[in-house]
Amino acid sequence: MPKTNRRTFLKTATIAGAGYFVAAGTRPAISQSANQRLNVACIGVGGKGGSDSNNAAQFGNVIAICDVDRGTLEGKGNADRFKQAEKFLDHRELFAKHGKNIDICTISTPDHMHATATLEAMRLGISCYTQKPLTRTIYEARLLAEVAKETGVCTQMGNQGTALDSSREAIAQLKSGVLGPLKEVYVWSNRPVWAQGPGRRMTMAKFAAQAKAENPDAAERLMEGKKKEIERALEKLDWKLWLGVAPEREYWPGLYHSFQWRGWWDFGSGALGDMACHQVTVPFAACGLKDPVSVVAKTTGHDYDSFPASSIIEFQFPATSERPAIPFWWYDRRGNKPPQEVFSKWGIEKVSDSGALIVGEKGAFYSSDDYCGRYELKGVEKVKVDYEKAENKGNNDLNNMWELFRAKIAGDPKICHSNFIDRAGPLTETILLGNLAVWAAAKGGANGEMGDWGEKVEWDAKNLKVTNLDALKTPGVADLVKPKYPEGYRLD
């Protein structure tokens, strides 16, 4: 019998795929022989990238891995299913060598590097699994969706709640109109669980000044110790590659890499960016929370460098053919929730730390977790609905990853529920608009309390324009819409 190569297998599977992805349980399994499995590259293999790469390795051959942290890279390279993968510090070198041989790429870096790696992969014809939020800026989210459409590659955002049957059922229930005309949407999160707030940046000069002021006799010893600590860290971490498309700044141990980057404007997108792609998935899909016309926020204060410790954001959405104009409210930080009377009206007295509430004229929808793994309807009964169940591979993380592999084999990007074009791109655009309002609400209250409402940002979603930019007193708002990449990285 002739040996089947990978490209022959993909062609055959794509032809067969037109008919066998209709119902769960009727799809043939991918052959597990090495030359028939999809070739995978993994960019970012620590933190969430550790599980993303592990999940991808269950369904494909990982031929290359990339991480700017040599310790992380070596550790993953020694793990089962990764020992044959070639190791890279720079994703651009990985693509230059293996781009033509890669079928699927996982991108699990800090937010600021999502777009550049994903764009390069898609432009090479590689299907992508990119972590949430899809991008750090609104323009990048729009561009990723456009390039996905232009290239025809399959795409999936790391938004595992979209592979939960409960969330898919909830979307179908809400789309049925069971709540009647919609009135308002609330989402609240217990994040951040990392440090945020003004005045957090540290440099050697600042450290030295503090040491000399607080302990002058030990200042020299403390500075030498800190220099050695930094040198040891940078023996493993390529700081220039970690910064990537972000502006230069001094490395400081534990302040950015490997987890605290989420709380910095240059690298992350705060609590909103981190969790809203999960928590707002059901409201977004069911209530049409696309193309808001304005956002306004209040915060505990920030310095345009680190995100505030807490915020409240109000989005306004215009009427559509399916619903009236509605507001959407976002709250972050544990204990920062909508007013209790919003819940008490529906008999909800013990409110979860994170969740979502959608209010209609007839009833309400209440989800008490981050992914809509459980939900209740208040004031109305469930109706019979149809929805596509996820193919169960063990958990929703695996199910979400497997959906991308199914799509690639079938040659059908629509199989992915969180594809860049229909879901992930528009959802990320909506969410990241909220951070423009946070930026414009830098002044907090006394003693870390919530400040007054900041400047309202009025938005033209079609053209990605702040329509009242000239009237805003806050500087730099437009810079959050579209980034500028340094030489060596391609945006447009």
Are residues 86 and 180 located together in one domain of the fold? Answer: no
Residue 489 lies in a domain: no
| pLDDT over 90 (residue 275) | yes
Are residues 345 and 429 located together in one domain of the fold? Answer: yes
Residue 469 lies in a domain: yes
Are residues 192 and 327 located together in one domain of the fold? Answer: yes
Pairwise CA distance, residues 396 & 398, whole Å: 5
Are residues 434 and 370 located together in one domain of the fold? Answer: yes
- Is residue 42 within 8 A of residue 95, CB to CB? The reply is no
Phi, psi of 413, deg, nearest 5: -60, -25
Q: Read out DSSP for 277-308?
A: HHHTHHHHHHHT--S-SEEEEEES---SSB--
Q: Provide the number of structural domains found in the chain.
A: 3
| pLDDT over 70 (residue 483) | yes
Q: What is the mean pLDDT of the chain?
A: 93
Residue 341 lies in a domain: yes
pLDDT score at 36: 72
Q: How many CB atoms lie within 10 A of CB 149?
A: 17
Alpha-helical segments (H) within 164-306: 165-175, 204-214, 219-236, 239-243, 270-279, 281-287
Are residues 367 and 228 located together in one domain of the fold? Answer: no
Are residues 272 and 378 located together in one domain of the fold? Answer: yes
Are residues 236 and 187 located together in one domain of the fold? Answer: no
Q: Residues 426-452: what's their mean pLDDT?
A: 98
Residue 485 lies in a domain: no
pLDDT score at 202: 98
Q: How many CB atoms lie within 10 A of CB 406?
A: 21
State the pLDDT confidence band at 30, using cuts at 50, 70 and 90. Answer: very low
State the pLDDT confidence band at 10, using cuts at 50, 70 and 90. Answer: low
Q: Residues 16-29: what's their mean pLDDT?
A: 33
| pLDDT over 50 (residue 198) | yes
Q: What percent of the chain has pLDDT over 90?
A: 93
Pairwise CA distance, residues 145 & 425, whole Å: 6
| pLDDT over 60 (residue 12) | no
Are residues 179 and 53 located together in one domain of the fold? Answer: no
Encode pLDDT of 236-246 as tens digits.
999 999 999 99
pLDDT score at 446: 97
State the pLDDT confidence band at 60, using cuts at 50, 70 and 90. Answer: very high
Q: What percent of the chain has pLDDT over 70?
A: 93
Pairwise CA distance, residues 209 & 80, whole Å: 48
Residue 259 lies in a domain: no
State the pLDDT confidence band at 35, using cuts at 50, 70 and 90. Answer: low
Pairwise CA distance, residues 279 & 286, whole Å: 13
CATH number of the domain residue 64 falls in? 3.40.50.720
Residue 141 lies in a domain: yes
What is the extent of the structural domain holding 290?
165-196+265-385+421-480
Are residues 269 and 381 located together in one domain of the fold? Answer: yes
Q: Which two tokens stand for residue 300?
A: 């505990």
Residue 486's SS3 state is: coil
- Is residue 302 within 8 A of residue 438, CB to CB? The reply is yes
Encode pLDDT of 298-339 as tens digits.
999 999 999 999 999 999 999 999 999 999 999 999 999 999
| pLDDT over 60 (residue 270) | yes
Are residues 309 and 452 located together in one domain of the fold? Answer: yes
| pLDDT over 60 (residue 11) | no
| pLDDT over 60 (residue 370) | yes
Residue 445 lies in a domain: yes
Are residues 331 and 186 located together in one domain of the fold? Answer: yes
| pLDDT over 70 (residue 212) | yes
Pairwise CA distance, residues 202 & 179, whole Å: 50
Lowest-pLDDT range, 24-28, 50-54, 111-115, 375-379?
Answer: 24-28
194: left (phi over 0), alpha (psi -120 to 50) or beta: beta
| pLDDT over 80 (residue 25) | no
Are residues 157 and 174 located together in one domain of the fold? Answer: no
| pLDDT over 50 (residue 24) | no
Q: Which two tokens stand for residue 134?
A: 């899809």
Q: What does the buried/exposed string (b/e) look like for 360-391 if buried means 16 or more CB atoms within 10 Å of the residue's CB?
A: beebbbbbbbbbbeebebbbeeeeeeeeeebb
| pLDDT over 50 (residue 219) | yes
Q: Which two tokens stand for residue 329?
A: 């409210």
